[in-house]
Amino acid sequence: MTRFLYIVSRDEPAQYEQLYEWLRRDMANATVELTFDRRRGERRCRAEAVEGERRQGERRRYQVDEEFARVGWARVQVE
């Protein structure tokens, strides 16, 4: 069964309530999770270069910033 994660921008707490009511009413039989965006910015903040960087790039699979800017929340499919 397909699962969805709805992420609400921290800047839009009213959207959380509205989305919660909509999901409860219209998606009662679906497998969904609703949460606030927990990102607080880029954590890589060292000014000096790090020898042997292990990260190969962006680890986030979904880019939700455009959706946050447009509607205040985003939906991603959870595998």
- The pLDDT profile of the chain, 79 residues, written as one tens digit per residue, is 778 888 898 888 888 899 888 888 887 777 888 888 887 766 556 666 666 666 666 555 567 788 888 888 888 888 7
Does 68 reside within a domain? yes
Does 31 reside within a domain? yes
Cα–Cα dist 20/27, whole Å: 10
pTM above 0.75, yes or no: no
Q: Please state, in angstroms and as integers, the Cα–Cα distance from residue 10 to each residue in 14, 35, 68, 73, following that order.
A: 10, 10, 9, 9
CA neighbor of 4 nearest in space, from 39, 36, 34: 34
Rounded to the nearest 10°, the torsion over CA 32, 73, 39, 69 is 160
Does 53 reside within a domain? no
Does 3 reside within a domain? yes
Does 67 reside within a domain? yes
Does 51 reside within a domain? no
Cα–Cα dist 30/43, whole Å: 34
